[in-house]
Amino acid sequence: MENQELSLTRARSYEPEHQGSHVPDRKSDLTPRFKLIFSTVAALTVLALILNVLLAAFGGDSEQVKAAAEACSTTYMMGFGAIVGLIGGKVA
């Protein structure tokens, strides 16, 4: 009797379960960790863009202002790339 139950358990474990019919639940794809990372990257990107615009408009012509504006410019460009990468990673 015990051997029959064991053989049935093994046979069931090798049966494919709904192959090709699994549709992922879109709500479960966005984990809290992903939301936290995405919102942090988006907030830093927007902050860097705003700081860059403010430095360009009101910063003056000193070397320090130019260096800060360049750093903000690089930061928001990298942030935009990270946002595209995060979205692309979730779609794939």
In a domain, 1, yes or no: no
Q: What is the pLDDT of residue 52?
A: 95
Please count the structural domains in the chain: 1
Per-residue pLDDT of the chain (92 residues; tens, 9 = 90+): 556 655 555 555 555 555 555 555 555 678 999 999 999 999 999 999 999 999 999 988 899 999 999 999 999 999 999 999 999 998 87
In a domain, 4, yes or no: no
In a domain, 14, yes or no: no
In a domain, 9, yes or no: no
- pTM, to two decimals: 0.65
Q: b/e for 22-39, b at 16 or more Cβ within 10 A? A: eeeeeeeeeeeeeeeebe
Q: What is the pLDDT of residue 2?
A: 58
Q: What is the pLDDT of residue 5?
A: 59
In a domain, 57, yes or no: yes
In a domain, 86, yes or no: yes
Residue 52 belongs to domain spanning = 31-92
